[in-house]
A and B are shown apart, each in its own frame.
Chain A
Amino acid sequence: MILILLIAILLLGGILAAISARWSTVLPRWISLVAIAVDLVLAARIWAGRLLSASNAWYDEVDWNWVPNFGIHFHLAVDGLSFLMLILTFFIGIIAVLCSWTEIREKIGFFHFNLMWVLAGIASVFLAMDLFLFYFAWELMLIPMYFLIVIWGHERRVYAGTKFFLFTQCSGLLMLIAILALYFIHHQTTGVYTFQYSELLGTRLSSSAELAIMLGFFVAFAVKLPVVPLHTWLPDAHTEAPTAGSVILAGLLLKTGGYGLLRFVIPLFPHAAHKFTPVALALAVIGIIYGAVMAFSQTDLKRLVAYTSVSHLGFVLLGIFSWNALALQGAIMTMICHGLSTGALFVLVGGLQERIHTRDLNRMGGLWTVVPRLSASALFFSLASLGLPGLGDFVGEFLVLLGSYKVSVALTVLATFGILASTFYALRMMQRAFFGPRTNSWQLVDLTPRELLMISAMILGLLWLGFYPQPVLNIFAPAMHNLQHEVQTPAAALRSQP
């Protein structure tokens, strides 16, 4: 029941926030903050109260009949992977509310409504264990995000929002077709109509059908992740969205792509995914290098950070398709740490834009003397982003590279060049914006206590993940063993056939 509560609190909180805006401009913010904080506490309780019996793979679950005519269930469940993503969701959610505290001054109620509902959609995506419900949530998180971009975004917001929506919707519909194909093939072989994840897991597919269906899922997740030829919506959406929108996009929405690959593509279609490995790895490395090179050549600070996401999430794809424990652990670490470090960079860039009303690197310079605390924070997160040992991002990318080394030395070397390139763009950003001669006479306010609170929480998170990542890896371990099990059993079965 706690899972239903998690989502219901967000949905109701959103409605309350929208209504309360009639009386106060602060009330919606507090309502959202409290609602997400309550969710964070509840989610932590799931961990405390988890069922540790070996027979139950889930910490907690809810399974209701929803549309019996089609065999659709309202099935939410949480395991280690979902749990980590859920905690990240609520943490980033709190950051998103805090970072828009002064930025959003218009239509506050509706803003927080959308913010809460997009979080509810994302949380449902991480919890859904029925493919129909998953698709439902997958599409549903799109609409509030679209509104966040289109109403509160910057200059080219309508273009960016529409592009984002069209890309996601098109790939989502391909996934829907793939889901339906899986559904009917499962019915043909077993006579049961079901969208249940656990039941569809063992569906016997011909290898061509498996590849086609896998591609349907892969495209949807590749658009979100993003994988390079399908990434073009990302720089626009990230740049034009309000700060909270960018934080949620980078911190959470991209992670739904990685989560989808881990939860659905690999376990449901192990053989096809295995066959697809060379392509996926090549795409991953292209993404890592392309993202880094593009980031290096940007003058728009937000766009720069957006392209670093393309580069970092290339490591997630690389890790997932390296098929070993180290790389998988690296992928999950990268997902979480990228959420913190890039989220923080967006918060800082957003704060900077609120102060100087531009994101153009050419117009900045010498900011360190003006806003030392903000600049120092930016330095910290830039270092995290370029993979400084001791910070979380390093652990993730290092593990991925260790794992992928076993698969392909050449690709690993190329991916390492991506890290090298990240040094260039991160240092260039620091140099152009914060060091160098002062080109203007801005008198700016340094980080406020509210901003300091957010930033220190994220700094602590990254330090903790960098020095002591073991708890995260432990939480992920059972889910990862299942993953490896899923991968190996069908492979073994295939080998044993004459």
Chain B
Amino acid sequence: MNATDALALLPLLLLAGTAVVVMLGIAVKRSHELTMGLALAGLAASFLSIFAVARLVPRQVTSLLLIDGYALFYLGLIVASATAVAVLSYQYFAKHDGQHEELYLLLVLATLGCAVLVTSIHFASFLLGLEILSVSLYGMVAYFTLRGQALEAGIKYLILASASAAFLLFGMALIYADTGTMAFSSIADLSVGKSNLALLLPGIALTVTGIGFKLGVVPFHLWTPDVYEGAPAPVSAFVATTSKTALVALLLRFLTAGTRQSPAVFFVFSVIAVASMCAGNLLALRQNNVKRVLAYSSIAHFGYILVAFLAAATMAPGAIAFYLVAYTVTVLTAFGIVTVLSTSEADAADLEDYRGLFWRRPVLASIFTAVLLSLAGIPATMGFIGKFYILASGANASAWPLIVVLVLTSVIGLFYYLRIVVTLFSAVPERQSAMPRLAWGSAFVLGALAFLLIWFGVYPAPLLNLIRATIGGLN
């Protein structure tokens, strides 16, 4: 490892450094503003360093990490979304009593875990990244130690995540026993044309179980609604977007296009995709809690992403990248709205909290409407272009059954999104609580996200060009 290698790792090193600085900062002086400032500065520095590193790529640093355009694209997405979460957290936690400084420490650490995941090309770095992420998330989910729901969510996440990590480790061991290597590329090379799959296939299945848990796809989805509901809203946003993005990016590296097309893997993922699309959309129908609706909708959305994942045509990596950006922007905005409407007593999760919002806070409600339409994939939002891209990559690969399931289930999905929209626009209830004031930071983040949501929905060409420039070379 030489100086250039270290430079290539700059975004990760800066994140690690930020974690240390934030920790020391808390030790010296406990201040919410100061801690958040340090965390934000670190995240911003890490984000900017991505541009500096861009001219070094692709560069493999040791056998564990690969910094290429693909990794940098997802690094950018992860750090940017973590920054948005940090800003949203400030207003949210400032309303609550107690000590909030450690949350930023955990947030930076979790981001570091995600950053390791998207750069990793080896089981060792994969597991390291995953554990850094998971352990930080346990703390973040259960951050309100006095709220029963948060504790329940935290414990649930802890137990299930640990179990899935065990599955993952066992799967890795089986694959290693079979192929004798832990590098993704060698595994792919060695597994091509292999006749005896007695060890490899269970290995892949167990690994997929571990990843599937983190993505919250059916049948590994049971934790999702409870954790989304119990965790503080900004933390739910992080769980929903940043951590899942990192896992999808890793999954695409781990299972190369060739592996995905092998019949057994293809079959398993088809079942997971179809089950996720159906279960996510159907289970959301009866929910009255916005956070739970978002949880079930995220299950469905990762089902959609798996459709592109399976299509494996040349378009697939681009489609997935675009969809992840669209999903991240949309869901961050959604949780941003939940965050700013939450009070110190409870999160604004009940559907009734949103009744008549349009007539009281038109801008906020319009943004939320755009979010819901984006989740439903209606034109002039990013969600539409994302869905279009996924359908296109599916059609390109002639994966008609999957596409038809996607279309039919997304119509079901439309039903519960519309239900929320109707609530936003219905008459203002008689007994109305005071609306929380909107802080500058949150307002800025929400405005920027909403702008991206519409801008890339109407004019996606710049983002598509960026994706082609960075990710185009993967397959």
Contact = CB atoms under 8 A, between A and B. Distances in A.
Nearest to B388: A176
Given A67-B461, A69-B465, A177-B403, A166 B379 contact: no
A290 interface: no
Contacts of B404: 177
Given A143-B378, A165-B414, A69 B395 contact: no
- Centre residue among A139, A140, A161, A177 by max chain B CB count within 10 A: A177
Interface residues of A, number: 32
A379 interface: no
A259 interface: no
B379 A180 contact: no
B411 interface: yes
A110 to B, nearest CB: 8
Nearest to A162: B418
A243 B429 CA distance: 26
Nearest to A107: B359
Given A166-B414, A169-B411, A177 B379 contact: no
Given A162-B418, A165-B418, A177 B411 contact: no
A66 B407 contact: no
Contact of B461 (A68, A143, A158): A68
A143 B373 contact: yes
B170 interface: no
Interface residues of B, number: 31
Given A69-B468, A139-B378, A169-B378, 10 more contacts: A67-B461, A68-B461, A140-B379, A143-B373, A151-B425, A166-B418, A170-B407, A173-B410, A176-B407, A183-B392
Contacts of B459: 66-67
Contact of B407 (A143, A161, A177): A177
Interface in B391-439: 391-392, 395-396, 403-404, 407-408, 410-411, 414-415, 418-419, 422, 425
A449 to B, nearest CB: 33
A142 B377 CA distance: 13
B380 interface: yes
Interface in B121-162: none
Query: Which of B378, B379, B461 is the most central at the interface, judged by chain A CB atoms within 10 Å of its CB?
Result: B379
Interface in A133-177: 135-136, 139-140, 142-143, 146-147, 150-151, 158, 161-162, 165-166, 169-170, 173-174, 176-177
In order of increasing CB-CB distance, the 3 nearest A-B pairs are A180-B395, A173-B407, A69-B464
Interface in A157-206: 158, 161-162, 165-166, 169-170, 173-174, 176-177, 180-181, 183-184
A170 B407 CA distance: 7
Nearest to A181: B395
Contact of A139 (B379, B408, B415, B464): B379
B464 A67 contact: yes
B25 interface: no
B415 A166 contact: yes
Contacts of B392: 70, 180, 183-184
A142 B411 CA distance: 14
10 contacts: A67-B464, A107-B359, A147-B425, A151-B425, A166-B411, A166-B414, A170-B408, A176-B388, A176-B391, A183-B392
Interface string B357-392: 011000000000000010010111000100010011
B460 interface: yes
A177 B395 CA distance: 8
A127 B49 CA distance: 46
Contacts of B358: 110
Contacts of B414: 165-166, 169
A158 B379 CA distance: 22
A180 B406 CA distance: 14
A67 to B, nearest CB: 5
Interface string A296-315: 00000000000000000000
A181 B398 CA distance: 9
Contacts of A143: 373, 378
Contacts of B379: 135-136, 139-140
Contacts of B422: 150, 158, 161-162
Nearest to A146: B418
Contacts of B373: 143
A183 B395 CA distance: 9
Interface string A437-464: 0000000000000000000000000000
B425 A177 contact: no
B293 to A, nearest CB: 16
Contacts of B403: 177
Contacts of B380: 136, 140
Contacts of A161: 418, 422
Given A107-B359, A139-B378, A147-B425, A69 B388 contact: no
A183 B392 CA distance: 9
A136 B359 CA distance: 28
A21 B358 CA distance: 15
Nearest to B457: A136
Nearest to B407: A173
Nearest to A212: B400
Contacts of A70: 392, 464
Contacts of A165: 414, 418
